[in-house]
Chain A
Amino acid sequence: SYELTQPPSVSVSPGQTARITCSGDVLPKKFVYWYQLKSGQAPVLVIYEDSKRPSGIPARFSGSSSGTTATLTISGAQVEDEADYYCYSTDSSGNDRDVFGPGTRVTVL
């Protein structure tokens, strides 16, 4: 398998922009996905295939990927965006045991 790296925490004031990075040597060969986890709730896919937003996800969530680093951006963060965010990468082949990043706690206050 391989490793992904994320910062443990990111803090932002309401209305400001939060950026969460995910780094890994395999990222040039794989898509990145971002999941939002809130305690007691079902995890939610917020970005898929590096930069695509599922229906129902607010437009303030965006994703990008370049080289070995992917970034989840929350533009105009809201209090309800406070959560843990995990990156995950796969090339959909099933050849690797794809892994999650360690997660980033986003605090909005």
Chain B
Amino acid sequence: QMQLVESGGGLVPPGGSLRLSCIASGFTFSHYGIHWVRQAPGKGLEWVALIRYDGDNKYYADFVKGRFTISRDNSKNTVFLQMNSLRPEDTAVYYCAKDHGYLGTYWYFDLWGRGTLLTVSS
């Protein structure tokens, strides 16, 4: 069945870097955009970034622009989120989520992973 599995979370000091991965299975990965959405402890969901199916277009929330980079390797069914200059307020569970659009972007999420926890603390 269709599945997304995140990995790479952990404890990082402020100013540090980390790369998250999201591996997809059960669908034609190269035909769909992938988002990252996060949830800080005790807070709600917050959209972080999107990479379109072909990797040519990427979009970011204002609070991560210039610090986070989304990329994908369609040969490995994997999306990455490179996070630099991390701040304590970036502490959250990071989910990857599949966009509904086939060879396009609908800007909503029809499949999610279980998430990976990033903690930014000294």
- Point out residues on A near B: beta carbons under 8 Å: 31, 33, 35, 37, 40-45, 48, 54, 86, 88, 90-94, 97-103
Contacts and interface: CB of A to CB of B under 8 A. Distances in A.
A64 B37 CA distance: 25
Given A94-B59, A97-B62, A54 B47 contact: no
A90 B107 CA distance: 7
Given A40-B114, A97-B62, A45 B109 contact: yes
Contact of A97 (B61, B101, B115): B61
Interface in B36-64: 39, 44-47, 59, 61-62
Contacts of A88: 45, 108-109
A97 B47 contact: yes
Contacts of A97: 47, 61-62
A35 B47 contact: no
A37 B105 CA distance: 23
* B-side interface size class: 20 to 34
B44 A101 contact: yes
Contact of A42 (B44, B47, B114): B114
A54 B110 contact: yes
A12 B53 CA distance: 41
9 contacts: A41-B114, A42-B4, A42-B113, A42-B114, A48-B110, A86-B44, A91-B107, A94-B107, A100-B47
A103 B107 contact: no
B112 A86 contact: no
B68 interface: no
B45 A86 contact: yes
Contacts of B97: 43
Contacts of B106: 90, 92
B107 A98 contact: yes
B95 interface: yes
B45 A35 contact: yes
Given A90-B108, A92-B107, A94-B59, A102 B114 contact: no
Contacts of B61: 97
Contacts of B45: 35, 37, 43, 86, 88, 100, 103
